[in-house]
């Protein structure tokens, strides 16, 4: 169908996922870490839409819809937790948030 | 044909560059702005893949709702940039990039080893039909009605959880 091969889309998706992994590992700001998780969810969405489109099957796009629902819920609860931590410790630096570390 | 390739090259380049810029910018607000740019490039890629409904939902939900939430929290917390932190922790940076390169090599190897586009001979009409809001709506309310209801409960739970967390009094 498409003239562009499927591998190109999947490579962009894989690259965005790796960049998201880097962000989660090297960034110290909890909000930016959450944003990097959103980036990884989006790269998974791109792979799902690619397969769905190339196979002519709407199931993949329905899954993308569910992934977006989960991402919205995750962002809402995650940001609420970050605000609660900030009110207690006055920081969102994940190196300084170590109450559970022993 | 050639227009499709040009659009793909531009959108793919914007998606890749904006994702790198998002991770490397020290200021959280700049990260958020580049993430919005990345979401718009992804919406364009979805349009190239004949997924109109997902492209529109991507712009409305991700770029519109979720990123506004992020920017709002950034504005409330007023966090500082990460210049100093990234400079003093060089080891962490190298380990992070090393692990990410390993992940990329793994996924890329699987993509080319399995050669997913071999044997796909679907017509473009099927692809357009799969992306139509009518098809997705029918699937959502027939085959996937139970997950659909579960996602409604998930959103309800997330709303209640966020409110409970925000109401809590700390001393």
- Write down the domain spans for chain B: 2-131, 132-171
Question: In this predicted complex, what is the ipTM?
Answer: 0.90
Separation of alpha carbons A76 and B5, rounded Å: 37
B22-33 per-position pLDDT tens digit: 998 888 899 999
Q: Are B38 and A42 in contact (CB under 8 A)?
A: yes
pLDDT in tens, chain A (102 residues): 557 888 889 999 999 999 999 999 888 888 999 999 999 999 999 999 998 988 888 899 999 999 999 999 999 999 999 888 888 888 888 877 777 776
pLDDT band at B118 (very low <50, low <70, confident <90, very high): low
Count the helices and strands in chain B (H runs, E runs): 9, 0
Instruction: Verify whether the Cβ–Cβ distance A19 to B19 is below 8 Å.
Output: yes
Kindly list the residues from chain B whose CB atom is less than 8 angstroms away from the CB atom of residue A53.
Answer: 49-51, 127, 130-131
The predicted structure's pLDDT at residue A22 = 92
Mean pLDDT over all residues of chain B? 86
Count the helices and strands in chain A (H runs, E runs): 3, 0
The CA-to-CA distance between both ends of chain A, in Å, stands at 56
Tokens of B54: 């997902």
In three state form, how does the secondary structure of A43-62 look? HHHHHHHHHHHHHCCCHHHH
Q: Give domain B2-131's CATH number out of 3.40.50.10800, 3.30.479.10, 1.20.120.1200, 1.10.10.10.
A: 1.20.120.1200
pLDDT at B40 over 80: yes
Q: Does domain A6-89 have CATH number 1.10.357.10?
A: no
Number of residues assigned to chain A: 102
B156 touches chain A (CB under 8 A): no
The predicted structure's pLDDT at residue B34 = 94
More confident residue, B79 or B13: B13
């Amino acid at each position: 169908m498409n003239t562009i091969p499927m591998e190109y889309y999947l490579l962009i998706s894989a690259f965005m996922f790796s960049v998201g992994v880097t962000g989660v590992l090297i960034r110290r700001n909890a909000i930016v870490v959450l944003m990097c998780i959103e980036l990884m969810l989006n790269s998974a969405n791109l792979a799902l839409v690619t397969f769905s489109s190339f196979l002519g099957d709407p199931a993949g796009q329905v899954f993308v819809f569910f992934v977006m629902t989960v991402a919205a819920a995750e962002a809402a609860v995650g940001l609420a937790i970050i605000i609660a931590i900030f009110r207690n410790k006055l920081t969102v630096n994940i190196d300084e948030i170590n109450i559970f570390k022993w | 044909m050639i227009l499709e390739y040009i659009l793909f090259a531009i959108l793919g380049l914007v998606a890749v560059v904006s994702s790198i810029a998002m991770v490397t910018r020290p200021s959280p607000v700049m990260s958020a702005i580049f993430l919005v740019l990345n979401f718009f490039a992804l919406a364009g890629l979805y349009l190239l893949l004949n997924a109109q409904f997902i492209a529109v939902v991507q712009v409305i939900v991700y770029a519109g709702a979720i990123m506004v939430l992020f920017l709002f929290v950034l504005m409330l917390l007023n966090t500082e940039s990460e210049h100093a932190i990234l400079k003093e922790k060089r080891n962490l940076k190298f380990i992070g990039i090393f692990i990410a390169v390993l992940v990329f090599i793994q996924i890329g190897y699987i993509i080319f080893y399995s050669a997913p586009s071999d044997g796909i001979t679907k017509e473009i009409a099927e692809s357009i039909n799969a992306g139509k809001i009518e098809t997705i709506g029918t699937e959502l309310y027939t085959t996937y009605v139970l997950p659909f209801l579960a996602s409604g409960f998930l959103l309800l739970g997330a709303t209640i959880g966020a409110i409970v967390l925000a109401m809590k009094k700390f001393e």
